[in-house]
Structure 1
Amino acid sequence: MMHLPPRYDEPLPAAFFPASAPLPFSRTDFGPDFRWGASAAAYQTEGAWQHQGKGPSIWDDFTRRKGVIRRNEHGRVAADFYNRYETDLDLASSMGLTDFRFSAAWSRVLPEGTGAVNRRGLDFYDRLVDACLERDLRPMLTLYHWDLPSALQAKGGWTNRSIVGWFSEYAQLMARRLGDRVPHWAVINEPMVFVGAGHLLGIHAPGRRHLGAFLAAAHHATLAQAEGGRALRALLPDAAEIGTTFSCSYLTPHRPGNGSDEAATRRADAVLNRFFVEPTLGLGYPTAELPALRWLLERYQKPGDEQRMAFNFDFWGIQNYTREVVKFSPWLPLQWAALVPAKQRGVPYTDMGWEVYPESIYQMLKQYGAYPNAPKLLITESGSAFPDAATDGRVHDTARRAYLQAAVGQVLRAKREGVDVGGYFAWSLTDNFEWAEGYGPRFGLIHVDYETQERILKDSGRWYKKFLRGAVLESNAALAAQAGTVQPR
C-alpha cells in the first residue's frame, strides 16, 4: 500500500504529474474571461452558530451526537469567518482571484426555515457581498450547502414535499435582498452527497439510513433544484447567471473487460454522476440502467413532475476530487456495485482516502460537456487534503501545490478539446470543518490555526498567486521541480 510521503521533501508519486498535462501553459491560455476563484461553505467556516438571531441547523444537531464526527468536533466556531471575513477576502484578493464562491446559512436568515426573517442575518450577507465587490471579487452565492434549518427537519426536511415551496421562498428572499449585487448564483451544492450521505448512509446530517427517505429526499431535491432556479430567474431575469453544482467521480471498472464489473460501473455512473443532471435537461431519471429505481420513485413522483424537474441553467458547477474503481457486489441491492478503496489498490491517496488522479477532472468535463444542450461548465470545487504544518510562518504544502497545478492543467486540456469550461474554483479558500472528518483534513489555500485563528497563505496559495500573475508551467519536470521535489523514475 502506498500513501503520500510524510515529509514533503521526499519524491512525490508520478500520479501528481500526469503525462497528459498540456504543458507548457499559463493563465493567458485560458482566455481573458476565464474565472479564477476559491470556494467556501457557511457551516464549514462561519462559526457564530447562535449569533444575532441565527437558528439551529441539522449540522448543529448532528454534531451533538457522540461518535458521528471524528474527535466529536463541530462547526460552532470553525474558521470564524463570520468575524474574520474581511481578513480572508483580503488574502483572496492578494492572490489575484477574480471570484469568491460562498454559501448562505438558511437558518441565519430564516431561523424557522420559513416565515419571520432575521434581518441581522441578512445584514451579514449584505456586508459580505459588499466586501467582495470592494476587493473586485465577483461573489457567487450558493443558496444551499447542506445546513437545513432544524425547524424544517422537524417537519420531515427533504423527505417532505413541502420543502420545494420552502426552498423557493428562501431563494426569493435572497434574490430580493442581494440580487442587485450578486451576479452568479448556485442553487444547490452536490445533491447526491447530502441526500445519499445524510438519508441512506447516515454518515452526514440528518443521519438517516433508509432507502425510502433517500428516494423521497432525492426527488424533492431534484424538484427544488429546478424550482429554485425558476424563483431566481423570475426575480433576476437579466442580471444574474444561475447554475447549480454536482458532485462527480470518474468511474472505471475494477477488472476492465469483465462484464459484471463493466455493468456495475454503468449502474454506479447512473447514480453518482447522472441522477441529478439528466432531469434538469428534461431526460428524467436514468432508470434504464436501474430498472428498480423506476417503481421505487413512482411512490414519490406526481403527474407533471418530470416537466417541473427541468430547468435551463446557465452553468453547471462540476465538483470533482478523484476517480473511483467499481466492482460488482451482490451485497448492495439496486446498484449491485461497490467502490474499491484507493488504500486497497496500491495507489497514492489523500487524507480523505481519495486516489490522487488529476485526470478525473478532464474526464468529467468531457462527460458532462457531451450532453446535448449542456450549459457552460465551471469547476466550482477541486482540491486535495494533505497534512500541513506551519513552520516559521510558512506552510510548505508541496503535495497540494502539485495537485493544484496538475488539476488546472487538466482543465486546460478539456478546454483545448472544445469543452465549454469557463472557470476554476479551488476548494477551499481556508481550512475548515470537513463534515464527518472534523478538523483533521485540510483543503485550504490558507492555513488556519484553530486555536488562535491565525491565517497563513500556504505555498499552494502562493503558487496560485504566481500563476495568476503570469507564471508559466513549462514541462512535467518543471512542474515537479516547482513542487519542491523530483519526479520518480
Structure 2
Amino acid sequence: MLDTLLPPAFYPASAPLPFSRADFGPDFHWGAASAAYQIEGAWQLQGKGPSIWDDFTRRPGRIRNGEHGRVACDFYHRFEADLDLARGLGLTDYRFSAAWARVLPEGRGAVNRRGLDFYDRLVDACLERDLQPWLTVYHWDLPSALQARGGWANRSVVGWLADYAQVLARRLGDRVQHWLVLNEPMVFVGAGHLLGVHAPGRRHLGAFLAAAHHAALAQAEGGRALRAVLPEETQIGTTFSCSYVTPHRPGNRRDQAATQRADALLNRFFVESALGLGYPVGELPALRWLLERYVEPGDEQRLRFDFDFWGVQNYTREVVRFSPWLPLQWASLVPARKRGVPFTDMGWEVFPESVYQMLKQFSAYPNAPKLVVTESGSAFPDKWVNGRVHDAARRAYLQAAIGQVLRARQEGVDVRGFLSWTLTDNFEWAEGYGPRFGLVHVDYETQQRTVKDSGLWYRDFLGGQVLEQPGATNLMHHTQ
C-alpha cells in the first residue's frame, strides 16, 4: 500500500470550492443507483427463475474467490431498512433494476406475480419515503431460459425485452416517473460476448457483433414499448457507459487513430445509433461485418428512438495506444498502474474530470436530450476506527465528481441529476465482494450496515452544508 496525495487536477478548476447543493438549483436530482443481481439475493425464492449470472457464478474460476449473488445484501428482505438509510442521507431519488427472471421466470410467457409484487412494494416504499424511483428494465441478468435460445445473439431478444418492459410498465407505470431501458449495453455485450469475463462468458467476435446490434435495436424498441403504455409525462431514458479517451503518446499518429477507434466503440456506438446516425463504420471498418451479417432492411430506422434523457455512467478515463493484436479496433488500453497514476481497487485511474468531458461530448450532439449522471463512484479500501468507517479517498472522489458536474452545468450542459454508485457495498460482478463502492458499508456475514464518512459527507452536502476543499486527503492505491 502506498499513500499518495491527490494531485491538484483532482479538484475541478472551473467550479472552485466552496460550492453547495443550491448551486445546482432546486430541481436537480440527487440519489444513488443499484442493480438487482448485485444486492437482492433471494435467487430462487417465490418463483424466481435462474439468470445467466446465477449460472456464470457457478463456473469455476470465473468470479474472484468463487463468490456469488445468491444472498448478496439480502435487499429482497431488507429493502425497507435500506431505503430508510437512503432517505436518512438526504437522497431524493433511488435507482434500481428489476430482475427479469423474478418477473418472468422463463423470460417470456407466464408472469410470476409474487416477483412482480416485490417491485410493487419496493416502488411504494420509495414513494412513502419521498424517494423518486428510477427503474432500469435490464441490468445484465438475462433469464437462463432465454440464454438457452441464444440470448443477446438471437434477434428475438428484441421482442422479448420489449414484452418484458411492458409487463413492468403496466404494473408500475402509474407511480414510476423515470424509466431506463438498458444498463450500459457496450459493457454487457463486450464483457459478456467478446472478452468472456462477464456472463454469459462467450469469446466470439460474431456473437459480440450480433449482440451489439440486437442490444441497440432493443434499446430503441424497449423505449417504444414503454412509451406505448406509460403516461405521457413519464420520462424514458437509457444509460451509456463511457470513458474520456486520450492517446498514450499524443503526438503519435497511430495512437491518435487508435484513440478515435476506441472512442467510436466505447462511447459512440449506442449513442449515435439511437440518434439515427447509424454505426461509426468510418472509424471502425470492422463494423462492416455487422452490417453485412446482422442488419436487416429497415433496421436503421428501428435503431432510432427519441429518449427524454440519457444516463451518463462514468468512472474513469482510458489512455489508448495502437495495438496490432486486437483486430476489431487495433487499439489497447494502457492500465493505470503501468502509467504511474493513482488508481482505485478496480484498477481504474482516479480521474473525475472524465465526468465533465463526457457530459460535454454527449451534449454536443445536435439532438441530444437532457443528461443525468446515473452512475459515478469509486472503490477504495475502508478503514475502521472506533466503529466508524473512514474512506477519505471515496469522499474526495465523490466531491470532485460532483464538482465536475457543476462545472459542466455552469458551461451550459443540460445535466439534471447525479446518482452515486452505489448506496450499499454489493456484489461487484467478476470481482466478487472485494471492491467496495458503497456510501454504506455492508458486513456480508451479519448484514449489518454502517454509513461511511463518504455517506455522511453526502448527507451533509444534501442538507446544504457548504464544502471546504480538503487540504491533505490521502488516496490509497495498490502497487503490484
TM-score, normalised with respect to structure 2:
0.97
Q: Counterpart of 1:53? A: 47
Q: Counterpart of 1:109? A: 103
Separation in 2, partners of 1:359, 1:212: 35
The one of 244, 254, 258 aligned to 1:260: 254
Separation in 1, partners of 2:263, 2:390: 36
1:314 maps to amino acid: D
- 8 Å CA contact retained: 1:15, 1:348: no
Higher mean displacement: 294-303 or 122-131? 294-303
Three-state SS of the structure 2 residue aligned to 1:68 is: coil
- Whether 1:479 aligns to 2:473 is no
Three-state SS of the structure 1 residue aligned to 2:195 is: coil
The one of 393, 406, 428 aligned to 1:434: 428
Q: Give, in angstroms, the shift of residue 11 of structure 1.
A: 4.2
Q: Counterpart of 1:214? A: 208
2:395 maps to amino acid: R
Structure 2 counterparts to residues 75-94 of structure 1, below 5 A: 75-94=69-88
Q: Which runs of 5+ in 1 are unaligned?
A: none
Separation in 1, partners of 2:69, 2:373: 26
Separation in 1, partners of 2:89, 2:364: 33
- Whether 1:187 aligns to 2:189 is no
RMSD: 1.3
Three-state SS of the structure 1 residue aligned to 2:265 is: helix
Higher mean displacement: 152-161 or 230-239? 230-239
The one of 298, 307, 312 aligned to 1:304: 298
- 8 Å CA contact retained: 2:274, 2:305: yes
Q: Counterpart of 1:396? A: 390
Separation in 2, partners of 1:440, 1:99: 27
2:142 maps to amino acid: L
- 8 Å CA contact retained: 1:4, 1:348: no
Separation in 1, partners of 2:360, 2:100: 33
Q: Counterpart of 1:332? A: 326
Separation in 2, partners of 1:11, 1:361: 21
Q: Give, in angstroms, the shift of residue 20 of structure 1.
A: 4.5
1:463 maps to amino acid: W
Q: Counterpart of 2:168? A: 174
Separation in 1, partners of 2:5, 2:267: 34
Separation in 1, partners of 2:397, 2:471: 10
Separation in 2, partners of 1:439, 1:100: 22
Q: Deviations over 1:83-112 (max 9, x none)?
A: 111111001001111100000000000000
- 8 Å CA contact retained: 2:310, 2:372: yes
- Whether 1:450 aligns to 2:441 is no
- 8 Å CA contact retained: 1:17, 1:479: no
Q: Deviations over 1:112-159 (max 9, x none)?
A: 000011000001000000000000000000000000000000000000
Three-state SS of the structure 1 residue aligned to 2:471 is: helix
Separation in 2, partners of 1:20, 1:196: 35
Three-state SS of the structure 2 residue aligned to 1:90 is: helix
Separation in 2, partners of 1:24, 1:81: 36
2:455 maps to amino acid: G
Q: Give, in angstroms, the shift of residue 391 of structure 1.
A: 3.3
Q: Which runs of 5+ in 2 are unaligned?
A: 476-480
Q: Give, in angstroms, the shift of residue 394 of structure 1.
A: 1.0
The total of aligned residue pairs comes to 475
- 8 Å CA contact retained: 2:394, 2:454: yes
- 8 Å CA contact retained: 1:405, 1:479: no
Three-state SS of the structure 1 residue aligned to 2:344 is: coil
- 8 Å CA contact retained: 2:320, 2:332: yes
- 8 Å CA contact retained: 2:35, 2:96: yes
Q: 1:15 to 1:386 in 2, by over 3 A?
A: farther
- Whether 1:66 aligns to 2:60 is yes
Q: Counterpart of 2:352? A: 358
Q: Counterpart of 2:198? A: 204
2:277 maps to amino acid: L
